[in-house]
Amino acid sequence: MAQIHKHEKVIEIKNSAEAFWKIFSSEAYRIPKVTDKVASIELVAGDWSSNDSVKSWHYNLNGKAEIFKERTQVDKANKTLTVTALEGDILRNCKTWKATFQAAPKTETASYVKISLEYEKINEDDPVPRQYFDFVEGLAKEVGDNLSKA
């Protein structure tokens, strides 16, 4: 029987929760200006800020170009964004993959971002997809810290 695995981490960023929330929830097209981890983000369906919009991310993971096509769910009241994998390289290792980001203020110039990842491996004997955890956490940190460059 397949098992849903979970991984959670809280990171601290040097920016407001509102700024972090805004770029990920409605201005994702700006992310490639803030980090070299992401080459481009294309809007496939919907718009940049609505539920059920679909985006295709072209990114670099450990020197290799990869693609991630996702459906977005936005919870404005709780500053929470959930992306669910529809297609892409991560699904070579996992049947399902979902990432949730929630931004909360720490001070006027710093915030916490809780990252929750849920995934189901294709084969339970496969290794944990640690490289994707590290990528998501590093991306959130880098974007959060460098929003003024966007």
Q: What is the pTM of this model?
A: 0.92
* Confidence bin at 149 (pLDDT 50/70/90): low
Q: Which residues touch 55 (CB under 8 Å, ≥6 apart)?
A: 28, 41, 42, 43, 44, 69, 70, 72
User: Which residue type does 30 have?
Assistant: R
pLDDT per position as a tens digit, 104-123: 999 988 999 999 999 999 99
pLDDT digits (tens, 9 = 90+) for 50-92: 899 999 999 999 999 999 999 999 999 999 999 999 999 999 9
